[in-house]
Amino acid sequence: MTSNALDDALEGTAAAARAALVREIAAGGAFDGDPALRTAFAEVPRHLFVPYYYVVAEPAGRGYERLWGEDPDPARRAAWLRGAYADTALATRVRDGRLLTSSSQPSLMARMLADLRLGEGHAVLEIGAGTGYNAALLAHRLGDERVTTVDLDPEITDSARGHLAAAGHRPAVVTGDGTRGWAERAPYDRIIATCTLDDVPRPWLAQCRRGARILTPFATGLLLLEVAGPDRAEGRFLPSPAFFVPLRGGTGDTVLRGEEPPGLGRLPCRALEDDSFRFLLELTGGRLDPREALRIWDRAARPARERYGVTVDGDSARAWLDDPNGPYAWRL
């Protein structure tokens, strides 16, 4: 679907909604360090990347219903367009009632792109093509030739490629296992993932230049690593929580365990209901007894996400609290 498929009234609605979204994101400070990102969000039409998406059907909890840009009902078509520019994640693929892919919340995308500290001439690898919207923002900022996006699912890459072309962008869109990166277009200055991990794929480090940045969802946070060499990287989590669909790769299964560690029922509600404690449990991946986790959490004065980090060194990777060489560290 191209913008020509919208009638004049909807075109005006799209422009106004996009401008309002940009103002909302700007108010949060995401564009302060990189005004070119604001231009990208102002000029890349998100509705071209979500020709349809799913919302929770009413009454709530009764599955999903689809909103789409070719709906014969003008009111529903207008609702689709307004939703395309809402600052919220949009479910774009649902199978058997399970969310498979989504278009991320625009303000979160803006913060992630800002934290990459993009510069002219940077080559970027994106893991998880999604709708193609994030690749379009990167291509607008850096140029099509500097952007590569990879996804395991050929249906997703085909769809993303079509959306990008409709928006006037043609970065490299490749079908492959994101855990292996994409060596053909290396080296990269930045890698950004839009799916959750529980380890750092070593091929990413080998495909980066020294000093490159890798930003990836990890557990329920955002991990920002700096690459020190082909087999070493280290960094910390950003303050914001983040929830993404899991990465699929390697065996084709999701990397998240999705299991609660035993013994949670014996912990006090003050811990179980606290996001920072849940993050500690998620980060340690069940390798830490919940009562021991509670002891550490209390002793460290309920540490926020940014006090945790990850070190990758050869075949080993560990998460840590406060100090990479301190007493609290866990193998990933």
- Active-site residues, by number, are 104
DSSP bridge partners of 227: 233
Tokens read off for 33:
């360090």
Q: Are 141 and 162 in contact (CB under 8 A)?
A: no
Q: Note whether 71 and 83 are within 8 A (CB).
A: no
Residue pair 114/37 in contact by the 8 Å Cβ criterion: yes
Q: Is 7 exposed, middle or buried (0-12, 13-18, 19+ CB in 10 A)?
A: exposed
Helix (H, G, I), strand (E, B) or coil at 294: helix
Q: 59 preceded by cis ω (within 30°)?
A: yes
* Residue 15: closest CA among 23, 278, 108: 23
Residue with the two structure tokens 């890349």:
44
**What is the Cα–Cα distance from 200 to 319, expressed in whole angstroms?**
11
Q: Give the up-direction half-sphere exposure of residue 164: CA atoms within 13 A in the CB hemisphere.
A: 29
CB atoms under 10 Å from CB of 71, counted, come to: 15
Place of tokens 């939703």: 83
Residues contacting 289, CB < 8 A, separation 6+: 261, 263
How far CA 146 is from CA of 9, 34, 255, in Å, comes to 36, 18, 29
Pair of tokens at residue 167 = 């928006």
